Amino acid sequence: MDAITLRRLFGRRLKLLRMISNLTQQEMAERVGISVTHLSKMERGLAAPSFEVLEEICAVLETRPADLFLFAGPESNTKRSKEASGPHAVLGRMPTGFVSWMGSWTRNVASETDYWSDSFYQLLGYSKTSHQPSYELALEHVDPSDREGAASAFWKALAGAPVNDFRLHFTRADGEVRKAVVYAEPATDKSGQVTSIAAVILDVTDWVETEDSLMAGRTQLEAQLEQRTRKLQEVEDHLAKEIVRRTQAERELLLTSVCTGCSYSSDAQDGSARVRSMNRAFCGAIAHDLNNLFGAIIGRGEMLVEEIGSVQDHAAVILDATERAAGLIQHSQAMRKKKGGEEDVFANLSEHFSTRPEDSDRESLKGLNVLVIDDEEIIVEMLDTMLERFGITVNTALGGRQGISCFAEREGELDLVILDIDMPDVDGWEVYRAIRERSPQVPVLFSSGHEPESLMVNILSDEYAEFIAKPFRYTALAKKICVMVAN
């Protein structure tokens, strides 16, 4: 198949798939990112797509590249409706050797006599002298399912109308069933009366069977190609999952090496630097947990001081948080003893429980609608309880992804967002950018156990953002919210 034929067949296939997708040339050209003229040339076989355009076409049509090249050959795509009719046109469409017989039949209308050519006798399986040609004898050989249509075509020709491409099944004298195409042209005199009918009968059995075989082969090929494509997709998906699993296993092995003191690195030259970096990250994770736990303890403790009658309700939460914090603190104290120093981390803890929020602060906080976004459930619960005591309506989101969704749902109702920075699913910066895209002026109060330089730069550049360090006091949070809402 030459390049011109390939372009033409590709263009026809492209146009078919575009029409199946219910797209106009204008719509498809805009989605692919090309001009309508270029698309039109491709569909007419006058231009070929680049690899980039081919990828865009597949994306728009939601198909695979192989689907654009599924055509059996030039014959299978012939548009018969636009070609000339008649027996010679049919012969021109058929490959040489696919017409077994071609016979002619002439009828004199006035005398009602028929003439069959020698080849027509052979087509029916008769010798020339065995039977007298007649309309009735010919009709007997037509399959019963096609007989009514054949009679209608005959009377149509007698009425002066040509018969084009009439298809039927007929049975030869030896019982073999064949397929034929019939063309008939009436001849008229000067007055317009039909004087004779000339018909050509083509035996196209082999051609039709070959077309059917090609179509069946094409269908089978498409099914096999689709099956292979699915298998390749399954292999690709499996490899992608394997890459994720291996990457996760490598990270876990690296973290294990940091915790156990064993060295591990995929690159031996910078292995020690990786371990040092991971040690810093591990210590930072411990500090992050300590801040969150102490934040919960401090918040609950202040609420206990304010309302001593609720000890029973909060005792279990405080006990759980304290036990977790104690384990981490014991580890950090042991590390400090090894370095020759020790610090009492509880020395100044009592100062956090010394004050209560001012009545004026309480009044200004009543009726506010606040969204709390944090990945630690204990912090979310503590802030929910604490803020509700101020008369604030509290919406909570556990993690960054849930926080973005919750903000989108309540965007016009919120007066303030309290946002944690270190979250595993979607970090605080990504959540902050999503909030600012929707609402540039809603106040955002960042909370974190450390103050990175990048955080302070962003806060200084945003007049509607503030920062509060974990663990924070009950009163400090109230004052910070009051200032932000007032401004």
CATH number for the domain including 394? Answer: 3.40.50.2300
Q: Do 67 and 108 fall into the same domain?
A: no
What are the pLDDT digits (tens) for 6-33?
888 888 888 888 887 888 999 999 999 9
The arithmetic mean of pLDDT across residues 322-333, rounded, is: 55
In a domain, 324, yes or no: yes
Q: 99 and 47: one domain?
A: no
How many distinct structural domains can be found in the chain? 4
pLDDT digits (tens, 9 = 90+) for 62-78: 887 767 776 644 444 44
Q: Which among 299, 281, 278, 280 has a CA at the least distance from the CA of 447?
A: 299
Give the residue among 392, 388, 393 at the shortest CA–CA distance from 303. Answer: 388
> Same structural domain for residues 62 and 173?
no
Q: Are residues 478 and 363 in the same domain?
A: yes
Strand pairing partners for 113?
108
User: Is residue 433 over pLDDT 80?
Assistant: yes
More confident residue, 29 or 298: 29
pLDDT tens for each residue of 86-119? 444 444 444 444 445 678 899 998 888 999 988 8
CB 465 within 8 A of CB 446: yes
**Same domain for 37 and 62:** yes
Alpha-carbon gap, residue 254 to 262, rounded angstroms: 9
Last-in-domain residue among 48, 71, 94: 71
Q: Are residues 413 and 438 in the same domain?
A: yes
Judge if 310 and 364 occupy the same domain: no
Q: In whole angstroms, give the CA distance from residue 351 to residue 119.
A: 117
- Within this chain, do residues 365 and 470 fall inside the same structural domain, yes or no? yes
Residues 6+ apart with CB under 8 A from 454: none
**What is the C-alpha to C-alpha distance for residues 356 and 231, in angstroms, rounded to an integer?**
67
Is the pLDDT at 351 greater than 80? The verdict is no
Paired with 116 in beta bridges are: 105
Identify the band that residue 321 occupies on the pLDDT scale cut at 50, 70 and 90.
low
Helix (H) or strand (E) segment spanning residue 11:
helix 3-20
Both 402 and 480 in one domain: the answer is yes
Predicted confidence (pLDDT) at residue 330 exceeds the cutoff of 70: no
Domain boundary among 203, 238, 257: 203
289 pLDDT more than 80: no
| CATH for 25 | 1.10.260.40
Given CA atoms 188, 191, 193, 195 in this order, what sign does their dihedral have?
Answer: negative
240 domain residue, yes or no: no
- pLDDT > 70? residue 394: yes
The answer as to whether 391 is a domain residue is yes
Q: Do 372 and 466 fall within a single domain?
A: yes
Instruction: Answer yes or no: do 374 and 426 share one domain.
Output: yes
125 neighbors 136 (Cβ within 8 angstroms): no
Q: What pTM does this model have?
A: 0.36
> Greatest CA separation found in the chain?
131
Flag whether 94 is in a domain. yes
Give the whole-angstrom CA distance, residue 58 versus residue 73. 22
Range of the domain at 131: 82-203
Average pLDDT over residues 414-418: 94
Omega prior to 471 cis, within 30 of 0: yes
Tell me how crowded residue 19 is: count the other CB atoms within 10 A of its CB. 10
* Residues 285 and 387 both lie in one domain: no
Half-sphere exposure of 190 (CA within 13 A, CB side): 0
Mean pLDDT of the chain: 77
Structure tokens, 444: 């955002």
Within a domain: residue 257? no
Highest mean pLDDT (candidates 98-112, 161-175, 200-214, 446-460): 161-175
- Rounded Cα distance, 353 and 319, in Å: 17
- Between CA 412 and CA 278 the distance in angstroms is 42
State the number of CA atoms in the 13 A half-sphere of 225 facing the CB. 15
Cα–Cα distance measured from residue 275 to residue 253, given in angstroms and rounded to the nearest whole number: 12
Choosing from 184, 203, 222, the residue where a domain stops is: 203
Residue 258 lies in a domain: no
